[in-house]
Amino acid sequence: MASFFSNRKRIAGLASLVVLIVAGIWYWRSGSEEESQIQPLIATVGFGDIENTITAAGSLQPFEFVDVGAQVNGILETLHVDIGDEVVEGQLMAEIDARIQQARVDASRASIEALEAQIEARRASLELAKANADRQERLMAADATSQLDYDNAITSLASAQSNLIQLEKQIQQSRASLESDETQLEFSRIYAPASGTIVSIEMNEGRTINANQQAPTILRIADLDTMTVETEISEADIGQIKKGMQVYFTTLGGGTRRWYSELRQILPTPVIENNVVLYTGLFDVDNSDKSLLSDMTAQVYFVTSAARNVITIPVGALTFIDENPGAPAANVAGRAAAGNTRAGEFGSGIPEGMSEEMRERIRERMASGQGFGGGQGAFGGRPGANISNQQPQARRPAKVTVINEDGSQEEREVLIGITSRISAEVVSGLEAGDRVVAGILQGNMSGPEQANSEDQRRQMFRAMRGI
């Protein structure tokens, strides 16, 4: 009986040992799988561009255009141009039926000819009146004529002079009327007031024109060598948009091509559409290749800040030290100098652990006032230049986790310039080619395992970023 109980104890102990071994194996495998599923995401530091923009919709219009109308009544008889034609200043473009204007000119000329024929008779009458007046004056001096005859001769002379002057003024008036009629006749032939392209024709041949109340528009001439973009800026964004800021746009048919310019003007009077307040911004762009046409739709990007060809790092790799992003750059540099930096040497903070080659590169750029990075800016600025249309952005200190060549991790302090939602400019502290921890790389899981892994990932991410 004792032997039976002894065997049962041995069996129970053996079973407990097996359970412990199985549990240990399961725990070890679970830990290994979890470690393999959750790994740090490694990003390599390199050169790139950073850009922050405000988008808006716009349309293209010619920078200069003129609407050509009619100043006389009549039927549009002939159009000598078509839409898209290039015209030069003074070129004949249209003709209006001018029979009425021609008749008025002919009548004015005939009236002048009739008056000019009368003027010879008036001059002859004046000469006769002068002769009679002279004769009566001599006879009056010899007391050989009456006072009545003398007075009649003087009156006839004055009347003849008045008639001649009146006729001369009538001729002047008729000539002025003829000039007006000839001008109206010239208006029936419409010439180009400026060189450009015919972009629209409002009237067709055969249409009756009535120009009594207002001059009707027949066609429009535009200079397409320079185009103006009219963009609608939201009321929420207008505070960030300033005159002279960098702007570029794309078109639906232009592919990836960008047209660059500067904001020329913001019209002070808004346009209200469906209770939405929109302000109109204007900027001009060269169109020598005629690739832009009137009324094209433009997707406009106002560049609020940008850095070209600078050292960049993913935002997820950063843990910012300062709590006030708007702090002045001097205070930021001071805080950077309090850490593992040598800000006292140059005043901008050069972290420890940087290669001497990189230090020398920074010294040279700081001495020349160029800043950091290389390459030519997209807007033709100096190499590595920052473009900012608002207040200068403060350089903020941050911490990153660097992966060394031997695989060890090192926490390093860096100085950050312009940032976007994706990447940030590294002013100092890192070199191109450095590797940093930018997040967590997670394997494929589902169900409760995925939920548990998500919690672990968030906890690890907070720990790595110092939250």
Query: Sheet holding 92-96: strands in order across?
Result: 189-191, 92-96, 74-79, 208-209
Let me know: does 455 contact 349? Beta carbons within 8 Å. Answer: no
DSSP code per residue over 25-75 = HHHHHHHHHHHHHEEEEEEE-EEEEEEEEEEEEEEEEEEEEEEEE-SS-EE
pLDDT of residue 168: 84
Residues 6+ apart with CB under 8 A from 294: 60, 61, 62, 199, 222, 224
pLDDT of residue 140: 80
Q: Which helix (H) or strand (E) holds 24?
A: helix 2-37
Nearest to 430 by CA among 383, 380, 379, 372: 372
pTM above 0.75, yes or no: no
Tens place of pLDDT per residue across the chain (467 aa): 545 445 666 666 666 666 567 666 655 655 545 444 567 788 888 898 888 899 999 999 998 888 888 888 888 888 988 888 889 998 999 988 888 888 888 888 888 888 888 888 888 888 888 888 888 888 888 888 788 887 888 888 888 888 888 888 888 888 888 888 888 888 888 899 888 888 888 888 888 887 776 678 888 888 888 999 999 999 999 989 999 999 999 999 888 899 999 999 999 989 888 888 999 999 999 998 889 988 899 999 999 888 888 899 898 888 888 655 444 433 333 333 333 333 333 333 444 444 555 455 545 544 544 443 333 333 333 334 555 554 456 688 998 888 888 888 888 899 988 888 888 889 888 888 888 888 776 555 444 444 444 554 444 444 444 43
Question: Token pair for residue 288?
Answer: 């020598």
Task: In whole angstroms, give the CA distance from residue 76 to residue 414.
Answer: 75
DSSP category for residue 317: G
What is the chain's alpha carbon radius of gyration, rounded to the nearest angstrom? 46
DSSP category for residue 327: -
